[in-house]
Amino acid sequence: MSPTAFKDQHSTLISTLNNSYDLCQIIRSSRRLGSAPTPNFDAFQSYLIASKKNLSYTFTTLRSALGSRFDLGDTTSRTELDRAIRSFQAIQERLSGIAYGHERNGGFQAMLYQVQTLESEVLSTFSGLKYRLEISAKDEPRPKPILKKTKTDEVIIGIKKLDAYMDHMKNSWVETEVDGDVFYVNVYDEKKKVWDRPKNGFIQLLPKVERPKRRSTWEKELEKMRQEEKEMERQRQKERERARDREEQRRRADPWRNLDGW
């Protein structure tokens, strides 16, 4: 058995979701749904891409936390994931029939519910595998480390906390300004940008630039008068110093001259 059997199954699952989304695009472009609004079809197509991102992110996060053992999986997880893949492939075959004219009945609301159920089951499979791997790791005797254990940024969190973090990221925005235009970029999906400030969202605002405080006209005039007075006082001080220098020079020239000039 391949050491990446469970990872290969996950890749097949993601590929099936991609193919299903592409078939929805064909259905939309071929106008086989008519000109009337199709909220069920739109919701189904949107959920396909959201489900793909959710499953890929969860798998990558748990793989980073548990290491290569998560790539292999175990018998239970591989069996459950194989059953989910077959169900997703059945949805893909039905979409293919609708896209190429073999089947007219949509039933997208029912397929949406089926995809939501399958996504929940796959996430449960990931969570169950994580739990079993952690239990088996505790039971295995750990060899004494030869080198000091280095610090790592890997953290193991529960599915509920992971979902909470993802919801927080999806509702988080960064205020950005380009050429004087301000818009908001989503933290979870950087391609998602909006011009209006999201309501009830977590927003990282741009740093505020402090502007110089405006002064009134009378304050400016007062400051100017003070500067002129200081300048005049400096000039008077220089005149007094020059007078003292001249007096000192006269005294040195005639040492017998008294203070009254005689």
The domain limits of the chain are 5-139, 213-256
pLDDT value at position 121?
A: 95
Grade residue 262 by pLDDT with cuts at 50, 70 and 90: very low
What is the rounded CA–CA span in Å between residue 44 and residue 168?
Answer: 23
pLDDT value at position 204?
A: 80
Q: Is the pLDDT of residue 41 over 70?
A: yes
Selected residue with higher pLDDT from 121 and 39: 121
Q: Whose CA is closest to 49, among 173, 169, 201, 188?
A: 188
What is the rounded CA–CA span in Å between residue 13 and residue 55?
Answer: 9
What is the rounded CA–CA span in Å between residue 243 and residue 247?
Answer: 6
Q: Are 84 and 51 in contact (CB under 8 A)?
A: no
* Size of the chain in residues: 262
Grade residue 2 by pLDDT with cuts at 50, 70 and 90: confident
Strand runs (DSSP E) across 94-180, as ranges? 172-178
Grade residue 224 by pLDDT with cuts at 50, 70 and 90: confident
pLDDT tens digit string along 98-133? 888 766 666 889 999 999 999 999 999 999 999 999
- Give the pLDDT mean for 220-238: 88
Share of the chain above pLDDT 90, in %: 36
């991609």: which residue's tokens?
18
